[in-house]
Amino acid sequence: MSFVGSTREHSGVTFHFRLLVLENAVFALFYEGEMKLGTVAFSMPVTGEERVGKSSVLLGGKYLVAARALSERLAVRYGKMSLVSFHSSFPETEAFRIYVKILEDHMKRDHAVPTGDGSR
């Protein structure tokens, strides 16, 4: 069991995405430079006829929307509960766009990841 992930340079700063996939959950870190803990959000995957994800911020007061949105994306993608840490010194919208791009690029490369509905 080990983290996988990606990085991206923007304005002289290295943005990191690290992901650990467990049997029943995924844990992701989004951070700049050295690994840091940031705002922590938890999400449950959407089930049945639900159309809105269930998520909460567990720790932090900055970047609440971005942390929840990334956690919900991962919960949907993997069909598992998701725990995300989001840390940035950039404005929330700018950092969120960068991290979403890193996540999307990672998911494109990771074709064989289950979506939670039994398909691949």
For the chain, the structural domain boundaries read 4-109
Q: Topology of domain 4-109, per CATH?
A: Ribosomal Protein S5; domain 2 (3.30.230)
CA distance 16 to 31: 5
CA distance 39 to 50: 26
Amino acid at 10: H
Q: How confident is the model at residue 94 (pLDDT cuts 50, 70, 90)?
A: very high
- 37-73: pLDDT as tens digits: 999 999 998 876 666 668 899 988 889 999 999 999 9
According to the model, what pLDDT value does residue 119 have? 43
Bridge partners for 46 per DSSP: none
What's the token pair of residue 118? 């039994």
CA distance 105 to 62: 25
